[in-house]
A and B are shown apart, each in its own frame.
Chain A
Amino acid sequence: MESDNKYSNLQSSPQGQKPSDIESTTPRTDLPALRVRDLSFYYGKTKVLDGVSMDILEQQITAIIGPSGCGKSTFIKAINRINELETKVQVKGTIEFFGQNLYHPRVNINHLRRLIGMVFQKPNPFPSSIYDNVAYGVRIFDRHPRSQLDEIVESALKSAALWDEVKDKLKKSALGLSGGQQQRLCIARALAVQPKILLMDEPCSALDPITTMKIEELIQTFSQKLTVVIVTHNMQQASRVSDYTAFFSTDESRIGHLVEFGHTTEIFTKATNSRTQDYIQGRFG
């Protein structure tokens, strides 16, 4: 498998490099989509994440699992810097997007969030029409002629497997859709701006099993053109959809950290860490 090679290559690459040495302002597409090195994260003065290092490979689906409060949501929110909106945050270590430090002061943060899209736990469509929901992000970044915009909206809705259900009511309010449809609309909205990475923060936790299945199928179709990082509470979901799995946990200190990271099949069948085994077999968390 090609991805196997990619991963093992990275493992053998020199680890002695300090994060500051590899800070560059030109993207390098030969590097992993995300390279996290010794990432510690603070909300105000409270440390919530400690020393996370992992590589997230391009066009792979990476699942983040772990008990509540282990910092997995914080981790993916740190990837598109969306948690800066809530409170003052502090970051130590680096996250690199194709070799570029996300927290470099000169980063164009709006562009960064376009390239690294996000789908949230609860469907959060805008209170406007289905069409305008999908077109919103596109219009912000570019001026397109109507016909082209129509195409972008259609293709985004098709990629989110929603087109057939909504094609006759694009002008209707998005709030009239069912929960599952709303979530797929949010996915279409995220896809329409052509991100390189799609972050999904428990995208199915508010949905019923059938809708969940639909969205899982959808996620699997993305990996041909997109890197997906998905946080999930549902271990079956992680094992069904992902190529790689990261297990986060926390101890008495209440600070989350990465316990184990590897191929999903390995994590689920022969995890090396006993805490990972316990969690996966449902013995705690």
Chain B
Amino acid sequence: MTNPDRAKQYLEVEHNLFQADPKNLLLEQGFTWLVRIFAFSTAGLLLWLSWIIFQDAEPAIAQFGSDFLLSQNWNVGELSFGAAPFIYGTVVSSTLALLIAVPIGLAVAIVTSENFLPVWVRSPLATLVELIAAIPSVIVGLWGIYVMIPVLQPLQLWLYKHLAWIPLFSTEPSGPSMLAAGVILAIVILPTISVISRDVLLAIPLELRNASMSLGATRWETIFKIILPASASGIVGATILALGRALGETMAVTMVIGNSAGINISLLEPAYSITSVLANEFAEALEKLHIGALMYLALILFVITLIVNLIAVLMVNIFTKKIN
């Protein structure tokens, strides 16, 4: 071969788009399949779990049907079961927790993301709040029994004494109560709300703040009219995530809610939650119907959290759309 020929051949190899590259292909294809399998089996796990719960709940579903949701009667001896007090306890204590934790969590998020505190105060503060999330909930519950309820009791008595005409405070408090459960849940979910909201606030571009301030707005006007609306989707997301946590929280609630199955409008009265009754009774449940009733409760909790999560996705979408 002559030199120009060789040069031409070399050039053609250099420019060839069809070069085989088996290393890349095998690796890439293999990885694509591997991650697919992982993703689908995770989704499969959820379905499997739901199926098992549904199967175990079957006897109770067959026996009570939808009456189970409204019946207030829970009597293991007579094998008659109703879910209403537990659903009520779970929903009310979680709502109470949100009412307390959202404003405080947002305050923490704003204080630790704005610059009106020096950094050496701000960042330890944020870390400390974050650390609450690291406390095992059974320890929070113990603290609830030995510290929080004694501290809360004078307040509950005061509420009963002076505001008993409001139905919410119309019964005499004995210590453990729906209110105590709400407060303990608020403490448990506080870090979730404040940490995520803080990250969302910190992610708001400085340009927005500059634009607002340069039109003469004050710091708080900027926070309320620009920063918070711009981060609404993230804050809603954080709140719903916290709500999910509150609905599912077991130990801390069980230890302070009073575990008394009944529906009472008064927040000072002991109550019961779905997770608490599961924790308290499951180990001793022998009758198939009893186990079925507990599983039925678990299924209901599952559906409630599912709905909450769906609402979360929906609201985050709505808020995101509003901005864009």
* A→B interface (CB under 8 Å): 25-29, 97-98, 100, 102, 104, 106-108, 110-112, 115, 196
Complex interface: chain A residues within 8 A of B18 (CB): 25, 100, 104, 106-108
Q: Is the CB of B17 within 8 A of A110?
A: no
From B14, B15, B17, A107 is in contact (CB under 8 Å) with B17
CB-CB contacts of B75-117 with A at 8 A, as 1s and 0s?
A: 0000000000000000000000000000000000000000000
CB-CB contacts of B189-208 with A at 8 A, as 1s and 0s?
A: 00000000000000000000
Q: Is the CB of B21 within 8 A of A29?
A: no
**Complex formed: what's the CA distance from A25 to B11 in Å?**
14
From B12, B17, B20, B24, A29 is in contact (CB under 8 Å) with B12
Q: Is the CB of A29 within 8 A of B19?
A: no
CB-CB contacts of B15-38 with A at 8 A, as 1s and 0s?
A: 111111100100000000000000
**Complex formed: what's the CA distance from A27 to B11 in Å?**
9
Select from chain A the residue with minimum beta-carbon distance to B7.
A29
B: number of interface residues (CB 8 Å): 12
A contact face: mostly helix, strand, loop, or mixed = loop
Known contacts A26-B16, A28-B12, A97-B15, then 4 further A-B pairs from the complex at CB < 8 Å, ordered by chain A residue: A27-B12, A29-B12, A29-B15, A112-B17
Select from chain A the residue with minimum beta-carbon distance to B8.
A29
Q: Is the CB of B19 within 8 A of A26?
A: no
**Complex formed: what's the CA distance from A29 to B24 in Å?**
27
Select from chain B the residue with minimum beta-carbon distance to A26.
B12
**Complex formed: what's the CA distance from A27 to B16 in Å?**
6
Select from chain B the residue with minimum beta-carbon distance to A106.
B18
Pull 20 A–B residue pairs with CB atoms less than 8 Å apart, ordered by A.
A25-B18, A27-B11, A27-B15, A27-B17, A29-B8, A29-B11, A29-B15, A98-B15, A100-B16, A100-B18, A104-B17, A106-B18, A107-B17, A108-B17, A108-B18, A108-B19, A108-B21, A111-B21, A115-B17, A196-B14
Also in contact, A102 and B17, with CB within 8 A (given A26-B12, A29-B11):
yes
**Complex formed: what's the CA distance from A112 to B17 in Å?**
6
From B11, B15, B20, B24, A115 is in contact (CB under 8 Å) with B15
**Complex formed: what's the CA distance from A29 to B9 in Å?**
9
Complex interface: chain B residues within 8 A of A102 (CB): 17
